[in-house]
Structure 1
Amino acid sequence: MPLIAQLLTLLLFTCLSCTARGEKLRIVTEPWAPYVYEENGKPLGLDYETTAIVFKRLGIEVEWQFLPWKRCLSMLETGQADGALDIFHSAERDATLLYPSEPLSEVEFVMFYANQRPHPFSTLEALKGLTIGTSPGYLYSEDFSSSTLFTREPAPTHEANFGKLVRGRIDLLITDRRVGQHLLDELDIRDQITENPTIISHQSQFLAVRRNAGMDLLVQRFGAELKRFKREPAYAELSARYGANPDPVARAQSTSISPAQTVEQQESGAQ
């Protein structure tokens, strides 16, 4: 075998370090329907199924774990996981994580309120004195996180947050638009809850992996194959099945507080 071919082969096997050792790539994520979730023990979701297809095309086996988000971050930091699905890009994590050039999906963070206690708003200043339901392990925008106008109250799950909203224990909750709409149907509370149209932030979701030996090539190959798959009819069908194209009327009625604000599904510290 020519020397250049030997070097290329060695580079490929180094890139796929876990596979080369006969191990599966360990990916962690939090249930985040409709992007990624489990139903009757079967993993589903737009981003999960997209990622699974891309890895299959690359010939890489994956071991999946569904855990609370703070646990996912802890496992990344301690090396118990090779990567995380549906993580937002953060400059402070560039030293430890690699991100493909192509995102898996785009999210829009909005707030929901109970119809019996409506709190429509268009600015954060309008939330003065209210209690906002949040999720542990999520780092929100500086404006939202540092504001003293309102109180932030975490709940262990997204379902618990909606339960608190229905019972009047919080005034609003913040989550992704599609996640919230999915839960309104899942919990059968659509007639009790309203989505406020103001967009708190836009953000891209990625598959990110730890900066181990050769993983930069894996990220490049994943990004290239993901971009290729997203151009195919199969991806369009998958997107439509999971409602990845928000209603154009609803989008036209939406406003954004500030395009510079971000809501990060990350936290710099563990637990």
Structure 2
Amino acid sequence: MRHSPLLLLAIASLWTIASDAEPLTAVACGPHYYPPLVWADGGSLRGSCVEVAKRAFASVGVRLQFDYLGPWRRCQDLLERGEAQVAVCASHNPQRDRYLQFGSVPVAMQQVVPFVHKSQLHRVQSSADIRGLRVGLTRGGSFGNELDMLLQTGRPDYAYDARANFAKLYFRRIDLVPLNRDTGQLIIDSLGYRDTLVPAPLVLLEYPVYFAVSRHSPALLARLPGAEAFLQRRDYPAEQARLQAQEAEAFLRPPLLSATGSPH
């Protein structure tokens, strides 16, 4: 059931008052390589989803810790066991419903397209063309049941992250990489593949990503509607777009070098 913006704001206000007496700290995690939304940067996660989650949960008295805990598959295992409590920028599917309570207000909308080698652009003009092609996927990732099933009609080739998949695509070891348009383009730009790897003229899916809370965490589950009130504010779309642009710029920025010449 969706709540009205006024009700959500009222809940958030009540939780802010309560949080003065009962502050909470929670372990949060998310996809480990989906810039500009969320990615591992050294020993912690960063990205627009991370920043939004920090602000939203802080508004209801919860401090989120974003230490890097491992790839997305491990994050999901930790959430299922209750060893992590909050997932950021998570897409919904029935399997995750078993151990996560998803919010009802999207943090962001995503558009999935197939990225291909420019020389092979003619091969992917419709979703039916995916059948039999070598599809680069990330372990633990999901685009929802319908698209997941479509991608299985190809020949799945799994990698640790999208960066590895794009390297395989560049050398034509696979035929396509389905990924969020903004994320895919950022990674391609960072690898220097812009002139070789391109999105096909086909949208496979448009879908929302949400906050989600482990069902092992009743205190956080009670505060989820209040945290979502942050997403209902009139100025949130502009704030989210600004954060996403800032994080995209940060992702492409070369790492600083220490006095020894090593990145830090």
Instruction: Give the TM bin, normalised by the shorter chain.
Output: 0.7 to 0.9
Is residue 170 from structure 1 mapped to residue 174 from structure 2 by the alignment? Answer: yes
Q: Secondary structure at the match of 1:214?
A: helix
Is residue 214 from structure 1 mapped to residue 219 from structure 2 by the alignment? Answer: yes
Contact 1:120 1:196 in 2 (8 A): no
| TM-fit CA distance, 1:213 | 2.2
Is residue 90 from structure 1 mapped to residue 93 from structure 2 by the alignment? Answer: yes
1:61 is aligned to 63
Gaps of 5+ in 2: 1-10, 249-264
Q: Secondary structure at the match of 1:24?
A: strand
1:249 is aligned to none
1:156 is aligned to 160
Question: Structure 1 202/195 Cα, relative in aligned 2: closer, same or farther at 3 Å?
Answer: same
2:79 is aligned to 76
1:223 is aligned to 228
Report 1:1-271 matches (<5 A): 20=22, 24-31=25-32, 32-39=34-41, 43-66=45-68, 67-140=70-143, 141-142=145-146, 144-145=148-149, 149-211=153-215, 212-228=217-233, 230-231=235-236, 234-241=239-246
Contact 2:133 2:154 in 1 (8 A): yes
CA distance in 2 between partners of 1:121 and 1:157 (Å): 22
CA-based RMSD of the aligned residues comes to: 2.9
Q: Give the percent of matched residue pairs that are identical in Structure 1 and Structure 2.
A: 25
Contact 1:110 1:196 in 2 (8 A): yes
| TM-fit CA distance, 1:62 | 1.2
Gaps of 5+ in 1: 1-7, 244-271
The AA in structure 2 aligned to 1:185 is D
Question: Structure 1 189/56 Cα, relative in aligned 2: closer, same or farther at 3 Å?
Answer: same
Contact 1:125 1:149 in 2 (8 A): no
| TM-fit CA distance, 1:43 | 4.3
CA distance in 2 between partners of 1:68 and 1:103 (Å): 23
| TM-fit CA distance, 1:114 | 1.1
Higher helix share: 2
1:265 is aligned to none
| TM-fit CA distance, 1:209 | 0.3
List per-residue Cα deviations over 1:53-100 (Å, max 9, x = no partner).
222333321111332111011001111111211111224433432222
| TM-fit CA distance, 1:128 | 3.7
After alignment, is 173-182 or 43-52 more displaced? 43-52
| TM-fit CA distance, 1:12 | 5.5
TM-score, normalization by structure 1: 0.74
Number of aligned residue pairs: give it.
230
The AA in structure 1 aligned to 2:229 is A
CA distance in 2 between partners of 1:186 and 1:117 (Å): 22
After alignment, is 207-216 or 118-127 more displaced? 118-127
CA distance in 2 between partners of 1:152 and 1:112 (Å): 15
After alignment, is 219-228 or 109-118 more displaced? 109-118
| TM-fit CA distance, 1:205 | 0.6
Q: Secondary structure at the match of 1:219?
A: helix
Q: Secondary structure at the match of 1:205?
A: strand
CA distance in 1 between partners of 2:163 and 2:203 (Å): 21
Question: Structure 1 195/94 Cα, relative in aligned 2: closer, same or farther at 3 Å?
Answer: same
